[in-house]
Amino acid sequence: MMKMNDETPVSSLILPVLIRPILSQLEKHNVSASQTLRSALFKTENAHPGFAYNLVAGIMKKSDISINMNESILRLQGSVSDHDGGEYRLNRSEDAFQELNKKSMALKRILSRIPDEITDRKTFLETIKIQKRKFSILSREIASAIKKLLDAVNEVSGYIPGPSNKQALEQRKREFVKYSKRFSNTLKDYFKEGHANAVFISALYLIHQTNQIMVTVKSKCE
């Protein structure tokens, strides 16, 4: 069974990125059924981390479907609406909290564009040069989004009561910065080694760390 500390963080994103939007669509037709399923799935996932991943993987195996789960979940992150933010969306109305919501979603949506940039890569030299320029632009966008997110976190930190709570957020920030640096290094290595899946995984880790910042802020302020 896949756990949160396995090779890829994709297991932590199955519920918010794949299943929750499906349940939101179901809710438009049957509120009771959607809420019952949501409660059951989230309770089971909390008790047995990795359950949602294994459920989806099991269905795919039975159906003889083979896809790159890391790539697919990363793509789907771009279609997650603000309404489906769930535990990763802050409810407080102050500008600092709403700005952090915006910066969190913006970073995740930019990261979700990575598969389109990578899988469009061709073998011809001139095309690779063009692709490098395109990916360089995307890299700068990601770096800018990371900085804006950290700035937004700093603004929110002023609302967090107590030194221990502030320390918890600072620890989350340090983890986020660590994975940001790893992500940057993975991007640099991509055109040397061409390992697209390594970039997908690194992007998913960064999304997971972004979500963890949001969970931490939410738990300390709401």
Nearest one of 21, 15, 194, 209 to 111, comparing CA atoms = 209
> CA distances (Å), 24 to each of 38, 165, 215, 218, in order?
9, 33, 21, 22
In the DSSP assignment, the letter for residue 6 is S
Q: What CATH class does 1-66 carry?
A: mainly alpha
Main-chain dihedrals φ then ψ at residue 101, nearest 5 degrees:
-55, -50
Tokens of 68: 């790159």
Torsion of CA 158, 162, 163, 169, to 10 degrees: -60
Which residues have C-beta within 8 Å of that of residue 25, sequence separation ≥ 6?
none
Ordered mean pLDDT values, 10 residues apiece, the chain (222 residues): 52 91 88 90 90 90 88 92 79 94 95 81 48 71 94 94 93 96 89 85 96 94 79
Could you tell me which CATH number the domain at 90-221 has? 1.20.120.330
Instruction: Say if CB 135 and CB 117 are below 8 A apart.
Output: yes
pLDDT of residue 70: 94
CATH 1.20.120.330, the chain: domain bounds: 90-221
Record the tokens describing residue 93, joined without a space: 């109305």
Which residue spans of the chain are classified as CATH 1.10.12.70? 1-66
* Alpha carbon distance 24, 20 (integer Å): 6
Q: Are 142 and 110 contacting, i.e. CB atoms less than 8 angstroms apart?
A: yes
In the chain, the percentage of residues whose pLDDT exceeds 70 is: 87
Closest CA to 70 of 153, 117, 128, 13: 13
pLDDT at residue 118, rounded to an integer: 77
Q: Report pTM.
A: 0.86
pLDDT computed for residue 147 by the predictor:
95
> CB–CB of 176/202 below 8 Å?
no
Q: How many CA atoms lie within 13 A of 29 on its CB side?
A: 4
Question: What pLDDT was estimated at residue 131?
Answer: 58
DSSP 29: T
pLDDT of residue 140: 86
d(CA 97, CA 103): 10
